[in-house]
Amino acid sequence: MNKRLIISTIGGMLILLAAAMLLPLAVAVYFGDSNDIHAFLYSVLITASVGATMKLLFRPESFELVIREGFVTVVFGWLICVSFITLPYLISGSIEGISDAYFEAMSGLTTTGATVIADIESFPRSIIFWRSMTQWLGGLGIVVFFIAFLPTTGLGAHHLFKMEIPGGPLADKLHPRVADTAKLLFIIYMSLSLLEFILLYLGSMPLYDAACHTFSCISTGGFSPKNTSIGAYNSPYIESVIIAFMFFGACNFIIYYQLARGRFRRVFKNVELRFFVLVLLIATSLLTAYLYMSTTYQDNSLSATLRASVFQVVSITTGTGFTTEDFNAWPNFCRFLLLMLMFFGGCAGSTTGSMKHIRILLLLKSTKREFIRLSTPRVIKHVKMYGTSVDEEIITNTYGFFVLYMGLFGAFSLILIGLGMDVTSGISAVAASLGNVGPGLGQVGASMNYGGLDVMEKWALIFCMLLGRLEIYSVILMFMLWKR
């Protein structure tokens, strides 16, 4: 195993992370908080020093990563980067305790959006800015930023890229060269971010708030500088912009490349995108109808009900986790529907977590084929996607991922319930963490936070967040390959 290259690559990630810390440092200087200035200054120096040392002392003889080294690099890279993300929290004293700081940092970089902070608005602005910015870094992926700006991993870059980007079966590439693909993704990501920032600012959202929400919206992360999230603004315009960019962040980024090239027919024929829109429409219709007919829902006007339903369906399905209302107080039918949506996620090649619509669609098509086989055994039926037959190995892999995902969901739910959480809170916390959604139900509902959990419960959910963001296989295979 090329350990020198692994350490050197992770060192490069830390250097980029240190460079990213300069922006919240500037925010701290602007607002004149000397404590936070020192916290970020020390964090930058420590992170940059450690990264530079790793780069200089472990210069690799070969720049070629094999697949097992790619698994180790990505997983360890994420774990180490999260450790250094905690520095501003701990040095400033904003978050006390390593467990809470690591939970917040992992939630940020994995774009989960779960928080241990009870009163967000009481925190220093630079810390909240950094908290949101970590989601923006994690949305595209710290490894993708590394490949785009410091492409020094040679022939092994495609292994890193494949494991970093939340993908799925039948995934396409933008460009044959991985470094060029990473740069194109960065350009698309930055363009969408700038557009959202401008639109939010035009909607009378303060400049600081617009920046924080842009970071956490396009990345489908969900951190907000407001205690009541997007509901604090009570603005149909702001909610519309947020809904649009949560959706954009959950779409395969290849779609934007195709739109820029004028390939509109290919976009409209994208089966995963069409299925994604269909799921959103069905879920919104069901939620709106039930809430509208409910006698317990506070506002029974159709327009208000539709507005709340659209926002929450898009937010939960995409794994963003923004809220405009406390959906934990909604009827059980609505709460369970939102819980189910946590397992969908967005499209492959997007910033979202969870299972992805392409996998769910493939499972549905494969299940349909099995019914046809049972009813007409002599008929040879293939599962088709985009007009071509899907390889049986891809279908097997998809079934394996589904079984593994649901198995881990059941196992971690059992662990949390065994540690003392009630059933609703335990199940929803695991679903929200594995799916990188953020808010759950019960004890971890939309108006609550994860601060009241004990240390073991927090670390179990931290592991769930990592599993969800790196799509399970990467994390498990890393431990298997490292042991071997």
pLDDT tens column, 250-288: 998 888 888 888 888 888 888 999 999 999 999 999 999
Percent helix, strand and coil across the chain, each to the nearest 5: 70, 0, 30
Taking each helix axis from N to C end, the angle separating 142-149 and 157-164, rounded to the nearest 10 degrees, works out to: 150
Phi-psi region of 356 (alpha: psi -120 to 50; beta: other; left: phi over 0): left
423-463 per-position pLDDT tens digit? 999 999 999 999 999 999 999 998 899 999 999 999 999 99
pLDDT at residue 142 greater than cutoff 90: no
Q: Distances in Å between the alpha carbon of 56 and those of 10, 94, 345?
A: 12, 33, 40
What's the predicted TM-score (pTM) here?
A: 0.92
Q: Does residue 461 contact residue 127 with C-beta atoms inside 8 Å? A: no
pLDDT at residue 293 greater than cutoff 60: yes
Q: Give the distance, in angstroms, between the CA of residue 119 and the centroid of all CA atoms in the same chain.
A: 23
Tell me the backbone φ, ψ of residue 389, rounded to 5 degrees.
-70, 140
pLDDT at residue 59 greater than cutoff 90: no
HEC letters along 281-330: HHHHHHHHHHHHHCCCCCCCCHHHHHHHHHHHHHHHHCCCCCCCCCHHHC
Residue 414 tokens read as 């059992």
* CA atoms of 235 and 255, how far apart (whole Å): 29
336-369 per-position pLDDT tens digit? 999 999 999 999 888 888 899 999 999 999 988 8
Interval 282-308 mean pLDDT: 88
Q: Give the distance, in angstroms, between the CA of residue 326 and the centroid of all CA atoms in the same chain.
A: 21
Whole-number CA gyration radius for the chain = 22
Res 157: pLDDT: 52
310-313 long-range CB contacts below 8 Å, 24 or more apart?
Answer: 310/243, 310/284, 311/230, 311/239, 311/242, 311/243, 312/287, 312/338, 313/280, 313/283, 313/284, 313/287, 313/338, 313/341
Q: Does residue 21 contact residue 43 with C-beta atoms inside 8 Å? A: yes
Residues 6+ positions from 401 with CB-CB distance below 8 Å: 355, 359, 471, 472, 473
Res 431: pLDDT: 97
Res 150: pLDDT: 55
Res 466: pLDDT: 93
Q: Distances in Å between the alpha carbon of 297 and those of 18, 73, 104, 291, 335?
A: 47, 49, 32, 6, 13
Name the band, by pLDDT with cuts 50, 70 and 90, for residue 313: very high
Identify any residues that bridge with 384 across adjacent strands, giving them in sequence order: 389
Q: Is 388 exposed, middle or buried (0-12, 13-18, 19+ CB in 10 A)?
A: exposed
Helices (H), 325-391: 332-341, 357-375
Helix (H, G, I), strand (E, B), or coil: what is residue 125? helix
Residue 172: other Cβ atoms inside 10 A: 12
Identify any residues that bridge with 385 across adjacent strands, giving them in sequence order: 388
CA 337, 343, 346, 350 torsion: positive or negative?
A: positive
Res 81: pLDDT: 94
373-427 per-position pLDDT tens digit? 888 877 777 788 777 888 888 888 889 999 999 999 999 999 999 999 999 999 9
Interval 298-323 mean pLDDT: 91
Name the band, by pLDDT with cuts 50, 70 and 90, for residue 155: very low
Identify any residues that bridge with 388 across adjacent strands, giving them in sequence order: 385
Res 233: pLDDT: 96
